[in-house]
Amino acid sequence: MERPRHQGMAKNTYMRWRLPLVCLLWEVAMIVLFGVFVRFDPEADAHWEEEKREKNLTSDIENDFYFRYPSFQDVHVMIFVGFGFLMTFLKRYGFGAVGFNFLLAAFGIQWALLMQGWFHSFKSGKILIGVENLINADFCVGSVCIAFGAILGKTSPIQLLVMTLFQVTLFAVNEYILLNLLHVKDAGGSMTIHTFGAYFGLMVTRILYRPNLEQSKDKQGSVYHSDLFAMIGTLYLWMYWPSFNSAISEHGDAQHRAAINTYCSLAACVLTTMAFSSMLQKKGKLDMVHIQNATLAGGVAVGTSAEMMLTPYGSLIVGFICGIVSTVGYVYLTPFLESRLHIQDTCGIHNLHAMPGLIGGIVGAITAAAATEDVYGKEGFIKAFDFTGTYQTRTPSVQGGFQAAGIVVSLLMALAGGALVGAILKLPVWGDAAAENCFEDDIYWEVPEDEENDAYHMHNPDKATSP
Amino acid sequence: MERPRHQGMAKNTYMRWRLPLVCLLWEVAMIVLFGVFVRFDPEADAHWEEEKREKNLTSDIENDFYFRYPSFQDVHVMIFVGFGFLMTFLKRYGFGAVGFNFLLAAFGIQWALLMQGWFHSFKSGKILIGVENLINADFCVGSVCIAFGAILGKTSPIQLLVMTLFQVTLFAVNEYILLNLLHVKDAGGSMTIHTFGAYFGLMVTRILYRPNLEQSKDKQGSVYHSDLFAMIGTLYLWMYWPSFNSAISEHGDAQHRAAINTYCSLAACVLTTMAFSSMLQKKGKLDMVHIQNATLAGGVAVGTSAEMMLTPYGSLIVGFICGIVSTVGYVYLTPFLESRLHIQDTCGIHNLHAMPGLIGGIVGAITAAAATEDVYGKEGFIKAFDFTGTYQTRTPSVQGGFQAAGIVVSLLMALAGGALVGAILKLPVWGDAAAENCFEDDIYWEVPEDEENDAYHMHNPDKATSP
Amino acid sequence: MERPRHQGMAKNTYMRWRLPLVCLLWEVAMIVLFGVFVRFDPEADAHWEEEKREKNLTSDIENDFYFRYPSFQDVHVMIFVGFGFLMTFLKRYGFGAVGFNFLLAAFGIQWALLMQGWFHSFKSGKILIGVENLINADFCVGSVCIAFGAILGKTSPIQLLVMTLFQVTLFAVNEYILLNLLHVKDAGGSMTIHTFGAYFGLMVTRILYRPNLEQSKDKQGSVYHSDLFAMIGTLYLWMYWPSFNSAISEHGDAQHRAAINTYCSLAACVLTTMAFSSMLQKKGKLDMVHIQNATLAGGVAVGTSAEMMLTPYGSLIVGFICGIVSTVGYVYLTPFLESRLHIQDTCGIHNLHAMPGLIGGIVGAITAAAATEDVYGKEGFIKAFDFTGTYQTRTPSVQGGFQAAGIVVSLLMALAGGALVGAILKLPVWGDAAAENCFEDDIYWEVPEDEENDAYHMHNPDKATSP
């Protein structure tokens, strides 16, 4: 910071008026739009007693709240603690990791309630929201958290808010195309959340390429404690992923099955991650980067198929493969992407979300195409793929084809959207830091003077007296 | 510690006999009182099969356990991890923050089960407890955790236990007055928990005013890692607050609605907190103190009204305002309270709980007063405000008046109770530390000699050899 | 590491081929076995619509998923975050604590699904799994996590995997003997999980006795931050223990009751732990080791009886006693076991699991023996102890006798199994570290160079310039 002559120093990272202005104006916009559009779903509305009578429900326990609220809370923890802490691995960017994730997610869920609401819960001029909308909003924001992983440490909070605004919008459009136009199944979001979020983020970071990023190389690593903080994020993502993949599945067996498949896939993924982490390192030691990330790939990769009859051993196979793919990606692909394609991917989302997301889409397409009435039962078959109304005559293999189309659409939307948003974020008005100040909380945060030095002086009286 | 001549040093902080005696005697008293009074609620009793038949329940899922247990666990996490870790921000008081919070809450929930039981669950000489009682006990202790925030670092564990004993007692009395005598609604406890707990704690810390507290000023800040630990507390409080505000609402739509309103309010609150945190600081940088605390004010402020038809946009407005009020409070009010009114508020509970609690009470009163049969439906209206029996003829505006009265009663009870308890805690027998030893775990805890010094020596061989 | 002449250095801790081989081969074996044996339970299978019709279920909410999934997730958190972080207290073994726990548990749950499935869920050649199987697999692995606590820091990851393989197998056999042959009740696993897991681990560590362990004495303690990380583990275990003890109880009152009893027992346990922690230390200060561990003993000790009519005050008494027993154990027994019996018990599982587990078994036997139709109701009595079919004529006192037999069987199985497995782990092929390298992550993990030194240099410019 005593280097006033550097070109980087010229960058204006002063947030005092810009950040408050964006936060306040956008929040006012949210209030106005919520005021005009958002009301309670019948199950959350005080008129529910009448609704119950109409629907012949005999018990309050039939309220969707009791089917989905526990899963919602698990998903909520994944978004705020899971993603937030996963990204605290950097030695001097913990505040930014947790804090900016908090900021963008808090804004994103509001905007997602609106965007998704207009597409999916719009009835006589109003968006009616219930617990399922909250889950979907969290899901949508999950894709932004993923993209954040690629640009972690290199952007200003305003850039993150701008990205959130656009990404949520495009997410909702893409989701609408997949779920409504293509009639694709994707309950755990391999395509809509992971593939879309990851390629979007990779494209953004490609556009924002920083040739001099090695100037902050010393801050791009972890320290012992920061790796433990990151493990909090990892474990919460890992443990609650069964809730993530089952949260919006059909009531009953589908939720149940999605949780079991995800549990199995994740377990297998840990074993192959550990195996390859050790194998790919000359000294055979395990690398925390792999453990923190690649162990989660199994959850991503059953995002589409978990609610289908993937079966426990099918899940193990998917998890097995993804632990390998993801770990190999960290060792070989990430450096390659950076040096050759100029994709600087701070958290390695290409390995954790992009590739496993694609695999997840493909596994989903295959599982759907392979579905039979024998395996699902006559009613179960129709229910699992919602082959009713217009889709009454759709066959499994056609469904598989549409699923595959969903992957392609998500990928294209992500790349086009990421390019657009990357270009917007490149404008020199958003207050991002110079290359040498990346990965450093001090730019946007009041950082306490670390007196750990003093802290142990207290216990080492002889040192305390020395100058 | 090498300053034997200081007056402070004369203070006797030796806990060896006093703390064990209090813990053991009080726990024995709990056992005796539980033995005499506490039994299982019919839904937790082995006779439940008979109960089910009587009530014509066809399924075990109708047991209140399944309606409330997930919310209970979320609340439980808020009390022990949420409050505990939120207070670990101090650089050398992490053990005290988490450990004393653990101690007082573990004692408090037992005493609360009794006190609240006598008032609310007393049937033919026995207190019958079920999951709702556990939630209420946690709620009651929540108000003690809030008060603890004001005196954090300045009291002995015995003082905390004494305060818990009295505060839980007074909480139960106040709660009885509000809920039973005034027939006030306050499911999320804006009045009973936050207003009461915060003003109680502020009064206690006022009475315990320490003129020489600047002697431990160097320990009153955070270090980098302690701020991240505190964020664990913040995020768990933030994420689970929808469970807190909905945990004891009526089954069905009320629980559902309370969760949605709280979710919205909290989201808005993050945006305005970030805005004002940056705006009020000359360099425009964000302050972790604000992020850790003011982001939660939105949850406090919909504590009364969340289960009502506040509507999502109403919630956004409340959250919007409270993020501002709370952040401004941290910047301007806290220093003022300390210098002018001699209120030393370690965690700034005035900004996080007191003001938002009052706002929450007022918002609740207004929302109740504005209720109409049109908005709630005929049945919903009666159910929402429990306008049955004696209260059959109460109108919304009268209800609003009683809600307002509830705020005043809570405030007065808190101030009177806090003054009384503060006076008791001022007696020189409880083993509190001298001003210069405040905010320091070393007084009451075995603290490991921090060898982080040694830790990196291992990796810096050239340093390891130097003396 | 500059001591090449030490005998310990000769040890080959190189994991590069051994660990990957074990992980990959075993995971392939899992896939094959799952492929042959594991299918979905009817409640997780797509045929569920037909099942519902057969069983006359009118609502999806009757799916076992909604009865048990929230508890499952709490248990899941206990296994991975609870046990994982509880063991991070060591200053330089945080990666191993969390990471190896992650590895062994991820493998263990798969093997447990098979082993327990063959014994309990085997129907026409297939193991049918649902959410209850996931909980039981987590439970089974819990006993391995316990044993891991005894050998923490002294074994290679391969040894841990080998131990997991054998311990899960023996666990399933022991569980089968208790639950099926002896018809013993043990929903929270005082006997099957804690007694078995702890004595198994103690026997293993006895066999693996390291006479020169004092060479790594300097690494066997905690630092300030590592104690806070450990408290995350403690609190999650403590908070979610009511879910643990109630997770697989009968639907309805039994689950409800088990949660309440555990809540009470744990609360009392905190008070006596604090009391004795202070009392047994000359300076009267609290010891984090006790707070982190002994506070949990109350949950262990009601593992068998929580679902019975233990009553809240009975639970308080059990918690009261166990806090004392466990804390006294840490102060007096652990050093004795190490010096006299050569049992090196890193985490003190003897105090947290072994003794409280035995107490839990005894309390369960007494509570069962004391059961009457009066207390349980006629139907409740039969339901609570499953006195149907072959067991129709069993009396409470006979049940008490069988419960006591269950303790003895668990103890013997643990000691014999632990001796066998300890002998296997002693073979010099598993890559464990030399005594002087115990409790050190650097052996098996890539450890970042801790630049906390540099970190504050940034803020101390005058130091940054000095060499």
Q: Which structure tokens are listed for A428? A: 């020199």
Backbone dihedral angles phi then psi of residue B127, each to the nearest 5 degrees: -90, 120
pLDDT > 50? residue A5: no
- pLDDT at residue B8, rounded to an integer: 44
- Residues C416, C417, C421: CA angle, nearest 5 degrees: 120
What value does the mean pLDDT of chain A take? 93
- Please state, in angstroms and as integers, the Cα–Cα distance from residue A61 to each residue in A67, B59, C59, C346, following that order: 8, 11, 10, 47
pLDDT > 90? residue A42: yes
- pLDDT at residue A10, rounded to an integer: 56
Q: B-chain residues within 8 Å CB-CB of C317? A: 31
CB contact under 8 A, A271 and C27: yes
Chains that touch B (3 or more CB pairs under 8 A): A, C
- pLDDT at residue A11, rounded to an integer: 78
Query: Which of A330, A313, A310 minimizes the C-alpha distance to A375?
Result: A310
Tens digit of each residue's pLDDT (9 = 90 or more) over B241-277? 999 999 999 999 999 999 999 999 999 999 999 999 9
Domain ranges of chain A: 70-428
Q: Which structure tokens are listed for C333? A: 């027994």
pLDDT > 60? residue C461: no
CB contact under 8 A, A63 and B253: yes
- Between CA A433 and CA A452 the distance in angstroms is 27
Q: Which residues of B98-110 are buried (b: 16+ CB within 10 A; e: fewer)?
A: bbbbbbbbbbbbb
pLDDT > 60? residue A461: no
- pLDDT at residue C288, rounded to an integer: 97
Task: Summarize the confidence of residues C90-95 as an average pLDDT.
Answer: 96
> Could you tell me the sign of the dihedral formed by the alpha carbons of B376, B377, B383, B387, in that order?
positive
User: Quick one: pLDDT band at residue C452, thresholds 50, 70, 90?
Assistant: very low
- Among A69-73, B175-179, C91-95, C454-458, where is mean pLDDT lowest? C454-458
- pLDDT at residue B422, rounded to an integer: 97
User: How far apart, in Å, do the first and last CA atoms of chain A sit?
Assistant: 25
Counted across chains A and C, CB pairs separated by less than 8 A come out at 246
Q: What percent of chain B has pLDDT over 90?
A: 91
DSSP C422: H
User: Quick one: pLDDT band at residue B344, thresholds 50, 70, 90?
Assistant: very high
Q: Which residues of C83-111 are buried (b: 16+ CB within 10 A; e: fewer)?
A: bbbbbbbbbbbbbbbbbbbbbbbbbbbbb
Tens digit of each residue's pLDDT (9 = 90 or more) over C398-414? 999 999 999 999 999 99
- Between CA B153 and CA B144 the distance in angstroms is 15
Query: Which of C79, C85, C239 minimizes the C-alpha distance to C152?
Result: C85
- Between CA C264 and CA C302 the distance in angstroms is 10
pLDDT > 70? residue C370: yes
Q: C-chain residues within 8 Å CB-CB of A227? A: 94-95, 448
DSSP B316: H
C235/chain A closest Cα distance in angstroms = 14
- pLDDT at residue B274, rounded to an integer: 97
**DSSP assignment of B163-211, as one string?**
HHHHHHHHHHHHHHIIIIIS----TT-IIIIIIHHHHHHHHHHHHT--T
- pLDDT at residue C92, rounded to an integer: 95
CATH fourth-level superfamily of B70-428 = Ammonium transporter AmtB like domains (1.10.3430.10)
B159/chain A closest Cα distance in angstroms = 26
Q: A-chain residues within 8 Å CB-CB of B240? A: 73
CB contact under 8 A, C134 and A263: yes
Asked if C30 contacts C137 with a C-beta cutoff of 8 angstroms, the reply is no
CB contact under 8 A, C227 and B95: yes
- pLDDT at residue B449, rounded to an integer: 79
User: Quick one: pLDDT band at residue B454, thresholds 50, 70, 90?
Assistant: very low
CB contact under 8 A, C224 and B448: yes
- pLDDT at residue C4, rounded to an integer: 42
Tens digit of each residue's pLDDT (9 = 90 or more) over A422-443? 999 999 999 999 999 999 999 9
Minimum CA–CA partner of C266 in chain B: B106
Nearest to B31 among C255, C291, C316 (CB): C316
C231/chain B closest Cα distance in angstroms = 8
What value does the mean pLDDT of chain C take? 93
Tens digit of each residue's pLDDT (9 = 90 or more) over A190-206? 999 999 999 999 999 99
CB contact under 8 A, B47 and C376: yes
Choose, out of B16, B39, B460, the residue to mutate when testing the contact with C (most C CBs < 10 Å).
Answer: B16
- Stronger pLDDT, B3 or C439, i.e. the higher one: C439
pLDDT > 90? residue C464: no
pLDDT > 70? residue A51: yes
pLDDT > 50? residue B6: no
CB contact under 8 A, B456 and C449: yes
- Between CA C228 and CA B62 the distance in angstroms is 40
User: Quick one: pLDDT band at residue C449, thresholds 50, 70, 90?
Assistant: confident
- pLDDT at residue C10, rounded to an integer: 56
- Between CA B431 and CA B434 the distance in angstroms is 9
User: Quick one: pLDDT band at residue C11, thresholds 50, 70, 90?
Assistant: confident
User: Do the bridges between strand B38-40 and strand A126-129 make them parallel or antiparallel, or are there none, so unpaired?
Assistant: unpaired
Q: A-chain residues within 8 Å CB-CB of C446? A: 281, 285-288
pLDDT > 80? residue A457: no
pLDDT > 70? residue A75: yes
| Chain centroid to CA B344 | 18
Helix (H, G, I), strand (E, B) or coil at B286: strand
Q: What is the pTM of this model?
A: 0.95
pLDDT > 80? residue A137: yes
- Among A219-223, A312-316, B94-98, where is mean pLDDT lowest? A219-223
For C122-185, list the strands marked E by DSSP. 122-123, 126-129
Residue with tokens 């990272």: A13
Tens digit of each residue's pLDDT (9 = 90 or more) over A150-177? 999 999 999 999 999 999 999 999 999 9
Backbone dihedral angles phi then psi of residue B40, each to the nearest 5 degrees: -80, 140
